[in-house]
Structure 1
């Protein structure tokens, strides 16, 4: 990070004609309400303000950026995971302030190399993502190389020695603010008539004893196909994926688990429908021997009530369907959309019904501001307890 900041200072000192400067500003105001049965105090309410601010300087093929981040709890009537007892619902937005990103980047035709603290989102973020829903986000201290040697071919390889988590500067215990380790994230994708075919290898080293006793260290190898096609007025998109996971580095568990996904969505220039089936397999029912995704953008998958982090010992099967509608503009509002998603959750091992969930979302943009209302209702059967969550959110980006 020091090298990035020093290079940014050099760029700022060069003549204005030789460089481009761009401010970075991202502001979020949110009220999150959670109600969870079975707790001594079943409700939590958090009103938070998150601000990111920085600058990016570009000169020729080189660029550097530095961005700070702060999260303030205006109303702190909630359990944020780090202080106090877990007697009320968790809202994972602890107060924090610090360096969010500091990266140096080189871009040339067919090659991009990025070094420093950076966001990394691979494919649909199922295995590696930014945790954008959380105010503190997730970044990586890493070196990443993206190489496109020919049309339709791309290699994407990252070595990350540190993961900066959503728990911020006060992260502790199992919820560390930073998790060191030798992480290798590699993708090789090739365009085909059926879509982009990607082979991937994710070697995740959670090398901090407090984080589940190293039991989240894993090696995952798999393949993914994602494509889309227009058929008349309909835009059809599909994806399918399979992976195998096993223990890695100092993980004391000896396990094997499989992953499967089939998903399809249809956009009829207004109405939208979709559905899919995802399986995160289990081994023999021991804790943390099921398929785990500790670096994923977890909120995007398996329901917004977030009842499956980490994944249950007996694995998870998620059958889901969605329906919605989108408008380019309604009055002064643009990108207006509504969506409903239904989930049925079961265990992979022994096939027990965990519960069902309904998720609802409405969003629209006015100028630089995006407003959204989100709701999740998890009805428990054989895992966890009934949980409801509500989000009212405003995002403003420069």
Structure 2
């Protein structure tokens, strides 16, 4: 009887503790759901493309919709999901999207395919100094030159990944991510299974921010391939009585290998960036030099995970670096007008190695004006004009958009 009594007490104790724990978890989950947030983001954009080639001029009016949901936290854990949809509007679909097979060879390219897909879906664990994520997620590092989300396009780039960020202290931060799929901007038509490792460390001091990184990229396609990049960067700022200065530099080395046996190809190239900017009387003037180097005219330095539209001109002539490499000398001026922001820029392009008689890579002029109104809306107008050199063709692109977020 005593044994039976003890077993009954133990069973009752376990039952009570289970009930209490279940109640605690239920309360936590209830609180997390109560603290959840939902959002919607809409972007209606017109894009027109005129190129000096045999393709018809392109014209697209597209509406991009993001619908998102993030829970509150339960013992540091939370969940975020986001669905993205992009549609053509009013029948304005006279454009080409190569990877999806849409109007290929008929119109110039506008890389905004119609699609509905899960944009993000990840579990997050967060403490004061650590953040870990598992699942489909946006990852951006530094200025997006090597890793970005390409949010300029209507279908932004995300990654299926495991990522971890740890703040050692107020000055030092470490980041690592393993990417097992690159979800690119062409719906699902050009997504890539991968074995990518991103390692990133930053140190913020009184004299500026220092960054060291290693990006080890490999497509998981059953072939021997790899693009490994190691780099260092520095960004600083200073101020005098009338002028605020920004300045910085970056250097990286890259090795690329592909194939096996007699068809194996191994290349090396360097990356270099240096800039200086000055803000005075409401204006900001900046000079920026960027080199994506070449390996004897056979291979150009590559940044396959970057927000490429942000760099080397808005007409997107150099989304892939030419084998001769690319030098981009950029001058820009920006300021404010009528409650909005404007910027104009000029790019002078040339090759790093003039193999095959390719030296002059042309020039480009960019201009943009953006403005927010009524507290929740944004509008913009943007233009890019590329004047071809030894390769490419003359290209003009124009955009107008309006967006809002709830």
Query: Match of 2:284?
Result: 272
How do 1:255-294 residues align onto structure 2 when only pairs under 5 Å count? 255-268=267-280, 270-286=282-298, 289-294=299-304
Is 1:99–2:118 an aligned residue pair?
yes
8 Å Cα contact 2:32/2:73 also seen in 1: no
8 Å Cα contact 1:35/1:389 also seen in 2: yes
8 Å Cα contact 1:11/1:19 also seen in 2: no
Query: Match of 2:347?
Result: 343
Distance (whole Å) between structure 2 residues aligned to residue 17 and residue 87 of structure 1: 51
8 Å Cα contact 2:33/2:71 also seen in 1: no
Is 1:353–2:360 an aligned residue pair?
yes
Partner residue of 2:136 out of 117, 139, 143: 117
C-alpha deviation, 1:142, in angstroms: 0.6
Query: Match of 1:191?
Result: 204
Query: Match of 2:333?
Result: 323
Query: Match of 2:165?
Result: 146
Query: Match of 1:4?
Result: none
8 Å Cα contact 2:157/2:185 also seen in 1: yes
Aligned residues: 370
Residue deviations 1:276-330, cap 9 Å, x none? 10000000222xx210011000000000010012110100000000012125xx4
Q: Choose 86-95 or 311-320, whichever is displaced more.
A: 86-95
Query: Match of 2:369?
Result: 362
Distance (whole Å) between structure 1 residues aligned to residue 97 and residue 204 of structure 2: 43
Residue deviations 1:237-296, cap 9 Å, x none? 22210000002576842000000000122222621111110000000222xx21001100
Secondary structure of 2:72's counterpart equals: strand
Residue deviations 1:84-109, cap 9 Å, x none? 33242110001111100001111112
C-alpha deviation, 1:17, in angstroms: 7.2
Is 1:396–2:400 an aligned residue pair?
no
Query: Match of 1:5?
Result: none
Query: Match of 1:34?
Result: 49
Query: Match of 1:295?
Result: 305
Structure 1 residues 255, 17: closer, same or farther in 2, change over 3 A? Answer: closer
C-alpha deviation, 1:395, in angstroms: 1.7
How do 1:1-398 residues align onto structure 2 when only pairs under 5 Å count? 14-16=29-31, 19-41=34-56, 43-60=57-74, 61-74=76-89, 75-81=92-98, 82-83=100-101, 84-169=103-188, 171=189, 176=190, 178-208=191-221, 217-248=226-257, 252-268=264-280, 270-286=282-298, 289-326=299-336, 330=338, 334=339, 336-350=340-354, 352-366=359-373, 367-398=375-406
Q: Hey, which bits of structure 1, 4+ residues long, moved more than 3 A? A: 10-13, 16-19, 248-252
Distance (whole Å) between structure 2 residues aligned to residue 387 and residue 310 of structure 1: 16
C-alpha deviation, 1:13, in angstroms: 9.1
Q: Choose 273-282 or 145-154, whichever is displaced more.
A: 145-154
Secondary structure of 2:309's counterpart equals: helix
Distance (whole Å) between structure 2 residues aligned to residue 99 and residue 40 of structure 1: 33
Secondary structure of 1:299's counterpart equals: helix
8 Å Cα contact 1:71/1:97 also seen in 2: yes
Secondary structure of 2:235's counterpart equals: strand
Secondary structure of 1:14's counterpart equals: helix
Structure 1 residues 29, 221: closer, same or farther in 2, change over 3 A? Answer: same
Q: Choose 229-238 or 127-136, whichever is displaced more.
A: 229-238
Larger Rg: 2
Distance (whole Å) between structure 2 residues aligned to residue 258 and residue 107 of structure 1: 37
C-alpha deviation, 1:227, in angstroms: 2.0
TM-score for the superposition, normalised by structure 2 = 0.87
8 Å Cα contact 2:363/2:386 also seen in 1: yes
Secondary structure of 2:65's counterpart equals: strand
Residue deviations 1:146-192, cap 9 Å, x none? 111122001111111001000003x1xxxx1x211110011111123
Higher share in helix: 2
Structure 1 residues 376, 115: closer, same or farther in 2, change over 3 A? Answer: same
8 Å Cα contact 2:258/2:265 also seen in 1: no
Secondary structure of 1:150's counterpart equals: coil
Distance (whole Å) between structure 2 residues aligned to residue 136 and residue 203 of structure 1: 25
TM-score for the superposition, normalised by structure 1 = 0.88
Unaligned 5+ segments in structure 2 are 1-24
C-alpha deviation, 1:341, in angstroms: 0.5
Query: Match of 2:13?
Result: none
